[in-house]
Amino acid sequence: MNTTILKQHTSAADQPPAGNEIICAIDNVSKTYTGGSVALDAVSLDIRKGEILALLGPNGAGKTTLISIICGIVNASGGKVTVGGYDVVDNYRQSRGLIGLVPQEVNLEPFETVNNTVTFSRGLFGKPRNPGTIEQVLRKLSLWDKRDSQIVTLSGGMKRRVLIAKALSHEPRVLFLDEPTAGVDVELRKDMWETVRALQADGVTIILTTHYIEEAEAIADRIGVIDKGRLMLVEDKATLMQRLGTKQIRIELQDPLGRIPDALSKYELEIATSGNALIYTYDPTGGRTGITSLFSDLKSAGLVLCDVQTHESSLEEIFVNLIKGEA
């Protein structure tokens, strides 16, 4: 999978519209590790209550560092973060209590039972025992039938769900998933996406980091792109795809074409490698698409069509085009 590298890009559209409740505010956060490695450079981002935000970026971009600062595991070199209005440094206990963190690594006690594992995590947050809440969490993650099973007996997918159950055991309002599907097969990935959507339906705000553009495309409401410690872009997925996406029509021809006839030069047309098809690219947001006149001009030019297919840009194509455009 290609990773993405974008130049700085911010606009009024990046800011949440007024009236949206902010659950986590990240203001001008930087991090330089001992030894001089700059992991984050002036990152500002408001996370909206109830959204699924995907932070997309290549290896070493700074995603884990950002999550670790929000969770109070790593200290920022500069800037400020609040969760539910609590400063993550000055009011660590209150802010951390609102956060569930699902780490990248599966770090479970192999011979402990599912129920004990999740119950123990709740205790770490100083919350009183509440078997009813633990039952709800386990049922939500389809682990109730496995509550008395040892971790070692579970499949990889179930172990990942136990990690989520642990993170939800103290009833947080915000859930961070750090690379939830790194290295897992397609089926498990889709299973994880369903789990994430179900949690959102229950009112949990979800922030996930990923290398996979298709993952962001599949489940995120908003997408942030981090590269080399900078937040390059953050925007609603639908707006992003509409704003930057193009549509294409592939027109299969009865007879191969050597060059585009002069009468058609005003259209953005390419000849497909075989010569048996024309590709017409247009902006779906621009009002007039030019399709009607194109078809009429194709006919006047004596071209006989066999088939027509449409194609819309995927998020990956949008990013690749952006990179090409900025290069």
Ligand X SMILES: Nc1ncnc2c1ncn2[C@@H]1O[C@H](COP(=O)(O)OP(=O)(O)OP(=O)(O)O)[C@@H](O)[C@H]1O
Long-range pairs, 123-131, Cβ under 8 A, ≥24: 124/170, 125/96, 125/97, 125/169, 125/170, 127/169, 127/170, 127/171
Shortest Å distance, C-beta 305 to ligand X = 46
Measured from the CB atom, the residue of 57 and 84 that comes closer to ligand X is: 57
Which of 164-193 are b and which e, b meaning 16 or more Cβ less than 10 Å from the residue's Cβ? bbbbbbbbbbbbbbbbbbeebeeebbebbb
DSSP-assigned beta bridge partners for residue 55? 209, 224
Shortest Å distance, C-beta 78 to ligand X = 15
Residues in 15-34 that interact with ligand X by CB under 6 A: 33
Shortest Å distance, C-beta 178 to ligand X = 7
Question: Binding string to ligand X for residues 253 to 292, with x set by CB under 6 A, is what?
Answer: ----------------------------------------
Max distance between CA atoms of the chain, in angstroms, equals: 79
Element (H, E) at 27: strand 22-32
Instruction: Point out which span in 59-67, 162-170, 288-296, 304-312 binds ligand X (CB under 6 A).
Output: 59-67
Question: Binding string to ligand X for residues 35 to 54, with x set by CB under 6 A, is what?
Answer: x-x-x---------------
Nearest to 58 by CA among 127, 116, 2, 140: 2
Residues near 147 by Cβ (< 8 Å), separated by ≥ 6?
Answer: 113, 114, 115, 138
Measured from the CB atom, the residue of 57 and 97 that comes closer to ligand X is: 57
Residues near 209 by Cβ (< 8 Å), separated by ≥ 6?
Answer: 54, 55, 56, 57, 63, 64, 67, 177, 178, 179
Residue 61 near ligand X by CB under 6 A = yes
Measured from the CB atom, the residue of 68 and 117 that comes closer to ligand X is: 68
Measured from the CB atom, the residue of 33 and 120 that comes closer to ligand X is: 33
Measured from the CB atom, the residue of 39 and 257 that comes closer to ligand X is: 39
Residue 1 near ligand X by CB under 6 A = no
Cβ atoms of 104 and 64 within 8 Å: the answer is yes
Using the rule CB under 6 A, which residue among 45, 53, 63, 220 binds ligand X? 63
| Helix runs in the chain, H state only | 63-70, 92-97, 114-124, 131-140, 156-168, 186-201, 213-219, 237-244, 291-300, 315-326
Residue 59 near ligand X by CB under 6 A = yes
Question: Binding string to ligand X for residues 120 to 159, with x set by CB under 6 A, is what?
Answer: ----------------------------------------
Nearest to 120 by CA among 166, 168, 173, 177: 166
Taking the C-alpha atoms of residue 33 and residue 27, their distance in angstroms, rounded to an integer, is: 19
Shortest Å distance, C-beta 249 to ligand X = 37
Measured from the CB atom, the residue of 138 and 220 that comes closer to ligand X is: 220
Measured from the CB atom, the residue of 39 and 154 that comes closer to ligand X is: 39
Shortest Å distance, C-beta 33 to ligand X = 3
Using the rule CB under 6 A, which residue among 57, 72, 84, 97 binds ligand X? 57
Q: Can you give the binding site for ligand X, defined by CB under 6 A?
A: 33, 35, 37, 39, 57, 59-65
